[in-house]
Amino acid sequence: MSTVTEKIDAKLVKELREKSGAPMGDCLKALQESRGNMEEAFVILRKRGMASAQKKASRTTNEGAVGQYIHAGGKIGVLVEVNCESDFVARTEDFQELLKDIAMHIAATDPRYIRKEDVTAEDLEREKEIYRAQTAAMGKSANVVEKIVEGKMGKFYEEVCLLEQPFIKEQSLTIKDLIASKVGKLGENITVRRFARFKVGDPNWTVAQTKAAEETSAAE
């Protein structure tokens, strides 16, 4: 008797595994549900990863590791601290791969913040004022201006917040999605605590940490 499982080519499962980072069993199930459609299966895995990450988001992450990435012949350097729940997970190949990918991404994109919640009130208001002025100059009403401004803020967050940025190695994924996929696979909450990015000859450098990390440092 023919089954759905027999119709899924092992090459498809392997391809989805390489693309998503999810376990082989989860990739097979997703392909079964999507009847072999790779893109739909990928969406299914992303949704499950996000759901798993949301369930674990409140769990404490006191372990982890510091990763580094040096780019362009030593001209750009990044240090990033990524946290998880146990030292065992921190030492896994999957976690170390995530650590390297995030450090490399920061080197390439130079984000200013980690999360949307970390953007300062001053930066938010300055950007909104710029968008308001641009939109008002087009003769739009006040209500329309505010709606357009809110819509533009999504692009602003994507430009300056690490978790909202499309992953440089896979543009269909944000860094938040990338982390969620590892949470789903490793079974632990994973968070980015802080990072620093330096560029030779640039008088400015980027140092960012979550508000939670700032509060912890202040308490200590």
Task: Dump pLDDT digits (tens) for 72-100.
Answer: 789 999 999 999 999 999 999 999 999 99
Q: In the CATH hierarchy, which fold is given to the domain comprising 120-157?
A: GTP Cyclohydrolase I; Chain A, domain 1 (1.10.286)
- H/E stretch holding 155: helix 142-160
C-beta of residue 182 within 8 angstroms of C-beta of residue 85: no
Instruction: Domain 60-119+161-220: give its CATH superfamily.
Output: Elongation factor Ts, dimerisation domain (3.30.479.20)
Average of per-residue pLDDT across 39-58: 74
Q: Residues of CATH 3.30.479.20 domain(s) within the chain?
A: 60-119+161-220
What is the Cα–Cα distance from 15 to 8, expressed in whole angstroms?
A: 12
User: Phi and psi (nearest 5°) for 73?
Assistant: 65, 35
Q: Residues of CATH 1.10.8.10 domain(s) within the chain?
A: 1-56
DSSP class of 163: G
Among 78, 117, 119, 122, smallest CA distance to 100 is for 78
Q: How many CB atoms lie within 10 A of CB 150?
A: 11
Q: Residues of CATH 1.10.286 domain(s) within the chain?
A: 120-157
What tokens appear for 39 in the block? Answer: 């893109």
What is the Cα–Cα distance from 75 to 21, expressed in whole angstroms?
A: 30
pLDDT computed for residue 218 by the predictor? 53
Find tokens 């998880």 and name the residue.
84
| Model confidence pLDDT, tens digit, residues 28-45 | 888 888 888 888 888 887
Instruction: Domain 1-56: give its CATH superfamily.
Output: Ubiquitin-associated (UBA) domain (1.10.8.10)
Average of per-residue pLDDT across 125-141: 81
What tokens appear for 15 in the block? Answer: 């391809």
C-beta of residue 216 within 8 angstroms of C-beta of residue 81: no
Instruction: Assign residue 201 a region (left: φ > 0; alpha: ψ between -120 and 50; beta: otherwise).
Output: left
What tokens appear for 22 in the block? Answer: 């999810």
| Model confidence pLDDT, tens digit, residues 135-180 | 777 777 777 777 888 878 888 999 999 999 999 998 888 999 999 8
